[in-house]
């Protein structure tokens, strides 16, 4: 399972009245490592942009399999990734099972995003110790 869903959240979803805030709170509770990575990047992005950067990247290898799993679940889900992007006002990209990039909301149209998500970048960022992440 990707998320731990409380009865209240399930009831709201079944009734078609699940708010973005409730969904993000469920994500934060269920995937705290992944949520924290995105939160830290979003906090760093404004200063990086002010200094002329197009993005910020976290390439910290998660501390354990559970943290890897959280990142994979968060970024494999369009709804989770979209909710995190809306919550933090960023565009997110994911690479090599752990490398997360945060871009300004319009950043998907920029060169930095294209470089980060390119096949060449994926190849350059392979690591033998992460073959089975």
**Across 50-67, average pLDDT:** 92
Say yes or no to pLDDT of 120 above 70. Answer: yes
Helix or strand (DSSP H, E) at 115: helix 111-116
Average pLDDT, the chain: 90
| Residues 1-17: tens digit of each pLDDT | 689 999 999 999 999 99
pLDDT, average across residues 81-105: 91
Calpha distance 112→19 (Å, rounded): 32
Task: Output the pLDDT for position 131.
Answer: 57
Q: Which residues contact 28 (CB under 8 A, 6 or more apart)?
A: 35
Q: Considering all CA atoms of the chain, what is the largest pairwise distance in Å, rounded to the nearest integer? A: 47
pLDDT at 57: 94
Q: Report the pLDDT averaged over residues 59-65.
A: 91
SS3 state at 83: helix
Over residues 16-53, the pLDDT tens digits come to 999 999 999 999 999 999 999 999 999 999 999 999 88
Q: What is the pLDDT of residue 108?
A: 81
**Rounded to whole angstroms, how far apart are CA atoms 3 and 49?**
32
- Domain residue ranges of the chain, discontinuous segments joined by +: 7-130
pLDDT at residue 119 in the model: 83
Which tokens in the block code for residue 6? 């409380």
């Amino acid at each position: 399972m990707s998320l731990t869903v409380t009865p209240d959240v399930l009831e709201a979803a079944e009734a078609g009245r699940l708010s973005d805030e409730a969904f993000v709170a469920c994500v934060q509770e269920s995937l705290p490592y992944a949520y924290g990575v995105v939160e830290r990047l979003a906090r760093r992005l404004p200063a990086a942009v002010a200094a002329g950067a197009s993005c910020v990247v976290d390439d910290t290898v998660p501390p354990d399999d559970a943290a890897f799993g959280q990142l994979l679940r968060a970024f494999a889900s369009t709804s989770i990734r979209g909710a995190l992007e809306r919550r933090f006002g960023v565009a997110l990209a994911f690479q090599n099972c752990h490398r997360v990039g945060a871009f300004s909301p319009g950043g998907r149209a920029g060169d930095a995003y294209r470089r980060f998500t390119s096949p060449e970048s994926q190849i350059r960022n392979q690591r033998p110790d992460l073959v089975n992440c």
